[in-house]
Amino acid sequence: MELDPAEMITTAEALWRDLSALAISYAFSALGALLLIVIGIFAARLFEGWTRAALGRLPGIDETLSRFLSKIVRYAILILVGVTVLAQFGVQTASIIAALGAAGLAIGLALQGTLQNIAAGIMLLVLKPFRVGEYIDAGGIAGTVEEIGLFATELKAADGVYVMAPNSELWNKPVTNYSRNAVRRNDIAIGIGYDDDIDLAQKLLMNLATADNRVLAAPAPETFVGALGDSAVLVTLRYWTSTGDYWQASLDLRKAAKEAFDAHGISIPFPQRQIYVTPADAAGQSTQISQGRAKV
């Protein structure tokens, strides 16, 4: 069967018109998609900068946290732009959103521990139970904080050892911050003999405290008998000092107290045990041992 040339021309023209319309339609879609991509990238960077600047003006917002939240804003806009671009070409975005949701759920389950550390890191950065440069102890994890990240916190132990602690470990433990408050109290308890002069010992300790300019005048230092031991009277010096002077002042005052007590004849008893033995009874079957006071 031979085709009519006129019919072939008509069919070709119709096909050309359809292809031209399709090409024009997709050209506009491609142009619109390209514009959306360019505008989306620009908007993502712009909103990232705005978010970071706005969070930076808020008191108590850490730089790490503001950078993290601004990144979330940026990628959220980019994902929205990507879905919109696909919709330009007639792709059903509902299925894509569902797939993204399923993928996000799977990733969340696979990275459960990591996401827990991120959540804990955000809470640490917002509530600030400790800051960089402070000495803390959280459930046995102790050291000077060097960096607070979203996943882990880096510390330097007192002996110089490097410690990296997951944020979830620090967030789920009570945190003792030794550097947060400006002043700290210290008690120096020294045992003296029962025969020594208690008033003199208290006077010597008080003189040491008042002569040390690191000891604060308010709250005022005080001395008292803290306890009556087995063979020693515990005389205590209680004073307040700035947090920065705490350790050195404690070491210096302990040494000065020992020297002052030695110079004035006040003894510091060492551990000692006295044993009294009674003679055996007539049958020679029992020996009593009575224990005297132990000196500490």
Q: Which CATH number is 31's domain given?
A: 1.10.287.1260
296 SS3 class: coil
Is residue 171 a part of any domain in this protein?
Answer: yes
Range of the domain at 135: 129-177
Nearest-angstrom CA–CA distance, 192 and 177: 34
Listed range (31-35, 156-160, 179-183, 201-205) with the worst mean pLDDT: 31-35
Total number of domains constituting the chain:
3
pLDDT at res. 269: 86
**Residues β-bridged to residue 153:** 148, 165
Q: Which of 177, 192, 217 is the last residue of a domain?
A: 177
Is residue 193 a part of any domain in this protein?
Answer: yes
Phi, psi dihedrals of residue 120, rounded to the nearest 5°: -65, -40
165 and 269 co-located in one domain: no
pLDDT digits (tens, 9 = 90+) for 113-124: 678 888 888 888
pTM over 0.75: no
pLDDT digits (tens, 9 = 90+) for 263-285: 999 998 877 676 778 776 555 55
Which residue did the predictor score with more confidence, 116 or 252? 252
148 and 258 co-located in one domain: no
Is residue 115 a part of any domain in this protein?
Answer: no
Pairing between β-strand 162-166 and β-strand 232-242 as defined by DSSP bridges? unpaired
pLDDT digits (tens, 9 = 90+) for 94-106: 666 676 677 666 6
135 and 227 co-located in one domain: no
Is residue 121 a part of any domain in this protein?
Answer: no
142: domain CATH number? 2.30.30.60
Q: What percentage of the chain reaches a pLDDT higher than 90? A: 41
Q: Which of 177, 193, 217 is the last residue of a domain?
A: 177
198 and 285 co-located in one domain: yes
For 104-114, what is the mean pLDDT? Answer: 63
233 and 289 co-located in one domain: yes
Strands (E), 105-182: 135-138, 141-148, 152-156, 162-166, 175-177
Nearest-angstrom CA–CA distance, 155 and 148: 9
